[in-house]
Amino acid sequence: MRRCADQDRRSPLPGAPVIDLLLALWPLFAMIVAGYWLRLRAFPSEAFWPGAERLNYFILFPALLFSSLAKAPLNNPALPRLALAVLLGLGIAWLALLLVRRLRGWPAGRFGAFTQGILRFNTYLGLAAVGSLFGQEGLTLAAIMLALMVPTVNVLSVWSLTAERGVSARSLLLPILKNPLILACAGGALFNLTGIGLPGGTDRLLSLLAAASLPLGLLCVGAALKPEQLGGEVPALGWSSALRLLAMPLLAWAVAWGLNLPAMESAVLVLFFALPTAPTAYVLTRQLGGDSQLMAGIITLQTLLAAGSLVAIMTLLA
């Protein structure tokens, strides 16, 4: 990646040695392992994890996104190119998936699992990694990216799982409009445009909520792992994981290079395209009648492999 003139950020990139990347990322995966270990030990209880996930999804995580976008410099001249890079990368991957589906004749349930395994991303891990590598400036860029990626990927995921049954515009758009992450992004951007800031201690309140979001989210990621599902379709799990963890970040790098994105924007884009798929993909797959066993295996394998692939990708592209 091109060297950025401003080197006062917390990021160990560009040109970072592997040890700096490991020091930034290993605590995140330690939290994931801790979440898995706690669930195995039934601590605090099996009922704790669904409640923790809902608390994070509906309150803590939206607070992080809202506060990041409410303070974001939306006049950054690189933002239109970053938005174009996000949509272009997702669009190319989606067209490739449609072509492969046509060649292989996948049913919707299987196609939906592969689509989510390749296009969706673990938001909790992504923001935790961006925060460790790039600090608040990186989190602001990540929040802007999420405002584009979350609705786009959700629409493609729902469509792929229901392709054979047909789906109305209402059934596609209503879950998007009710998504708390999307609402938080939209609310934060609109609040930003008012120019009034976050007065009366609101900034501190949101910061406290946001600070709890990422560690709790990483613990929930670990608690959702299902290693028992890895004994199924090994080839399918392997190639889908390779596409998500290796091919997608390389695609993101090519798009960033072609659009001449600045160094930090390029790094954040590549990182988000290098993330494992989201644990919530399992819930959506099960709800819409997809291949939930395949989806559980993809989520687990990608999360485990990401501990090495994220460091490798960021080192290669630094």
Residue 116 · residue 291 · CB < 8 Å: no
The answer, yes or no, to whether residue 1 has pLDDT greater than 70, is no
User: Does the model's pTM come out above 0.85?
Assistant: yes
Burial class of residue 20, CB neighbours in 10 A (0-12, 13-18, 19+): middle
Of the listed ranges 79-93, 97-111, 174-188, 251-265, the one predicted with least confidence: 174-188
Sign of CA dihedral 179, 92, 97, 238: negative
Is the pLDDT reported for residue 12 higher than 70?
no
Residue 200 in tokens: 């009366």
| Predicted local distance difference test score (pLDDT) of residue 125 | 94
The DSSP result for 56-106, as a single string, is: IIIIIHHHHHHHHHHT--TT-TTHHHHHHHHHHHHHHHHHHHHHHHHHHT-
Neighbours of 45 (CB within 10 A): 9
Contact status, residue 24 vs residue 271, Cβ threshold 8 Å:
no
Q: What is the pLDDT of residues 248-300, one digit of tens each?
A: 999 999 999 999 999 999 999 999 999 999 998 998 898 888 999 999 999 99
Per-residue model confidence as pLDDT tens digits over 171-202 = 767 777 788 888 999 899 898 888 887 888 89
For the chain, what percentages of helix, strand and coil (3-state, to nearest 5) are there? 75, 0, 25
Which residues touch 264 (CB under 8 Å, ≥6 apart)? 4, 9, 11, 134, 137, 138, 141
Instruction: Give the whole-angstrom CA distance, residue 151 versus residue 289.
Output: 21
User: What would the two tokens of residue 143 be?
Assistant: 């929040």
- Name the 3-class secondary structure at 318: coil
* Backbone phi and psi for residue 200, each to the nearest 5 degrees, phi listed first: 60, 35
Cα angle value 169/293/214 (rounded, 5°) = 75
For residues 284 and 157, give the distance between their C-alpha atoms in angstroms, rounded to a whole number: 9
Tokens standing for 80?
């239109």
CA 277 to CA 263: how far, in whole Å?
Answer: 24
User: Would you kindly state where each structural domain of the chain is located, as residue ranges?
Assistant: 18-224+231-317
Tokens 């009648």 belong to residue: 289
What kind of fold does domain 18-224+231-317 have according to CATH? Answer: Na+/H+ antiporter like fold (1.20.1530)
Q: Is the pLDDT of residue 8 over 90?
A: no
